[in-house]
Amino acid sequence: MNYYTYVLQSEKDNQFYVGYTSNLGNRLREHNQGKVSSTKNRIPMKLVYCEVCFNQQDATHREKYLKTSWGKRYIKNRLKNYLTG
């Protein structure tokens, strides 16, 4: 089974949300239906970045990293063209 570490961006306030899941399409739907307490006041959310991991431990480790200041810097650098274009 694959796991996905993902970054969503709120179309309401442009802020990012980082998470992980084994079913990316379903999880995105849950976010946009207001079923996730962390993002329910920030919908709609759009997927702007994801990575595939082959086990849950790697996905959770990557999620934790992307939530750090270094990880946030990595995402902003990785999405530079998206954010400025």
Which range marks the domain in which residue 34 is found? 3-72
Q: Evaluate whether 59 touches 19 at the Cβ level (below 8 Å).
A: no
Provide the number of structural domains found in the chain: 1
List pLDDT tens digits, range 32-67: 999 999 999 999 999 999 999 999 999 999 999 999
Predicted TM-score (pTM) of the model is: 0.95
> Is 82 contained in some domain?
no
Q: Evaluate whether 12 touches 43 at the Cβ level (below 8 Å).
A: yes
> Is 78 contained in some domain?
no
Who has greater pLDDT, 32 or 84?
32
The mean pLDDT value for 18-41 works out to: 98
Res. 85: pLDDT tops 90: no
> Is 51 contained in some domain?
yes
> Is 31 contained in some domain?
yes
Position 82 scores a pLDDT of 87
Position 36 scores a pLDDT of 97
